[in-house]
Structure 1
Amino acid sequence: MAHAAWKWMVVAVGVGVGVLACSDDDEGGGGGGGDGGPITFDAGVNRVRPGFGEDPGQPVGKTFVFPPGVELAGVPYGASDATKDCGNGVAPIGTGPAVLVCVPLRNTTGGPVQLTFEPGLVVLNTAPSRIQNGMLIDREPITVPPTGMGPGGVDAGSDGGSEEEVFLLPLHMYCLNEARGPSEQGGTFELGPVSSDPDIQELLRLIENKRIENEDDADVVQDALYSITEYNGLTDDDRKAIAALKNR
């Protein structure tokens, strides 16, 4: 899939008092709304899914496992607000426009290792801010180079010895909590499970061979996700919009 990084705005929607919402325009459009009006959250139209929407708990799924020799080298954190990346020239994985996270990786094998973050991977906000959890919907392998110890010194942020090199991978993900804000630069995250939710799995099957080339395409995916996270699941309109996307 083509990489993209689009600027989304944080907008207020009416739920008694205004709340922050993850949206790409000032209409607050989300799955199941349909008329561009204010979004309300009603337990009567929401299937409970832990960690999605405003449902409490941790998302359900299988644990993501790194290949041998590759592991987290620190706490994942929000990418740059200005550049949407991690400052190291590595192209982002994913087409999601709102939850942008840098994942620090360590490769101790001494050689390159291929790594694939699976579609449906959830990344959980751990900062005190009311920020989205994110989901990766793309499957793209990446080669993680070997990491080791680099030269230190004042410029490297050390006391003159050596410091660990890490590989920073940007993940560009979609929103899972419509009433919350997009990621913030430096905000902390943790890797969650690969979702086993059957409606999420249906969405992933439908978009597996589709191209997400621009903001309108990303809106189709995000609206479909909101139909799942905020309501009861994919609608016929979601399926038609996905079917209309270009094939890879």
Structure 2
Amino acid sequence: MKMRHSFVLLAATVCMALTFDACKKGGSNDDDNKPTEQPGKIPGMGETAGTPEGEQYVLPAGITLSGTIVGDYCDTTYQVGSGEFAAVCVGLLNSKTKDTTIILPAGLVILSTNAEYQHGVVVQEARILLKAKKITRVGLGAYCINSHKSPSSYSVTYTLGPVSSSPLMKELIGLLRNKKTSKSEFANEDLYQEASSNIQGLVWGITDDMGSADPAVRQIYLDKIPNK
């Protein structure tokens, strides 16, 4: 996928920004208000052992999963969210007598049941319209939180996990709140892929300590993502 190639192009920018930031740093109180959590050392993210922490997400009353959640390919044009590495296909049954819109919250973690495959995170809330008494299949985009593992696969099953309680992840979600992230918000595929690549870089900066959690580098990434 294009995003998997374009992400590599950001490496030089990251290195230059880190070098510049290291030169200008001196005594400062800027760190006082930062989350105490350390990038690359969050349970269940990156290469850190454990399971991502947070309050377990529960579907609303009258809404249930239909079948298993699988990765990558989804036999529907209905797509929500953004991100490719941890994208999944979800079937939802609305047993109510009226159409219902559910909201998957920002910070929702998509858990892989196979330890060789990536977990994912939803970075903005995703609204899904479910027709009454019907099963709706939807492709849900999510961003990888374990860069060393394999991207989502149709042969792997997933579950809806917790809403991340990670202070660093919550901070990033706040910074992305007013940014364009969904494919429908972009004029073409290339613009979406560029933004998606930058968002993935920001996520990996937190989960895998890839450098973009540094304030100077983070701002470079954020500036490349258009506002709503």
**Normalized against structure 2, the TM-score is what?**
0.76
Q: Secondary structure at the match of 2:152?
A: coil
Instruction: Determine if contact 1:123/1:192 at 8 Å carries over to the other structure.
Output: yes
Spell out structure 1 runs of 4+ moving beyond 6 A: none
Q: CA deviation at 1:195?
A: 0.5
* Matching residue of 1:206: 175
CA distance, structure 2, for counterparts of residue 190 and residue 225 of structure 1: 20
Query: What is the correspondence of 1:66-77 to structure 2 with a 5 Å cutoff?
Result: 66-77=59-70
The reply on whether 1:122 has 2:115 as its aligned counterpart is no
Q: Secondary structure at the match of 1:77?
A: strand
* Matching residue of 2:124: 138
Identity of aligned residues (%): 27
* Matching residue of 1:178: 147
Inter-CA distance 88–25: structure 2 relative to 1 (3 Å threshold): closer
Aligned counterpart for 1:222 among listed residues 186, 189, 200 = 200
The reply on whether 1:188 has 2:157 as its aligned counterpart is yes
CA distance, structure 1, for counterparts of residue 118 and residue 208 of structure 2: 13
CA distance, structure 2, for counterparts of residue 168 and residue 47 of structure 1: 34
CA distance, structure 1, for counterparts of residue 112 and residue 56 of structure 2: 17
The reply on whether 1:239 has 2:219 as its aligned counterpart is yes
Q: CA deviation at 1:27?
A: 4.3
Give the aligned CA root-mean-square deviation in angstroms: 2.6
Q: In the TM superposition, what whole-angstrom CA distance separates every residue of 1:165-212 from its partner, at most 9, and x where no partner exists?
A: x32121011110011121112321111101011111111111101113
Q: CA deviation at 1:76?
A: 0.5
Q: CA deviation at 1:244?
A: 4.5
Instruction: Determine if contact 2:70/2:88 at 8 Å carries over to the other structure.
Output: yes
CA distance, structure 1, for counterparts of residue 142 and residue 58 of structure 2: 19
Instruction: Determine if contact 1:69/1:108 at 8 Å carries over to the other structure.
Output: yes
Amino acid aligned to 2:137: L
CA distance, structure 2, for counterparts of residue 108 and residue 26 of structure 1: 42
CA distance, structure 2, for counterparts of residue 95 and residue 89 of structure 1: 14
CA distance, structure 2, for counterparts of residue 95 and residue 103 of structure 1: 14
Q: In the TM superposition, what whole-angstrom CA distance separates every residue of 1:33-75 from its partner, at most 9, and x where no partner exists?
A: 737xxxxxxxxx8542111011111101111122221121222
CA distance, structure 1, for counterparts of residue 61 and residue 111 of structure 2: 23
CA distance, structure 2, for counterparts of residue 239 and residue 25 of structure 1: 18
Inter-CA distance 97–136: structure 2 relative to 1 (3 Å threshold): same
The reply on whether 1:88 has 2:67 as its aligned counterpart is no
* Matching residue of 2:15: 34
Q: For structure 2, which runs of at least 5 residues remain unmatched after alignment?
A: 17-37, 187-191
CA distance, structure 1, for counterparts of residue 62 and residue 117 of structure 2: 31
Query: What is the correspondence of 1:103-122 to structure 2 with a 5 Å cutoff?
Result: 103-122=90-109
Instruction: Determine if contact 1:7/1:97 at 8 Å carries over to the other structure.
Output: no
CA distance, structure 2, for counterparts of residue 144 and residue 194 of structure 1: 22
Amino acid aligned to 1:234: A
Instruction: Determine if contact 2:2/2:193 at 8 Å carries over to the other structure.
Output: no
Inter-CA distance 28–55: structure 2 relative to 1 (3 Å threshold): farther
Q: Secondary structure at the match of 1:246?
A: coil
Query: What is the correspondence of 1:3-22 to structure 2 with a 5 Å cutoff?
Result: 6-8=1-3
Instruction: Determine if contact 2:62/2:96 at 8 Å carries over to the other structure.
Output: yes
CA distance, structure 1, for counterparts of residue 103 and residue 227 of structure 2: 21
CA distance, structure 1, for counterparts of residue 15 and residue 108 of structure 2: 27
Amino acid aligned to 1:89: T
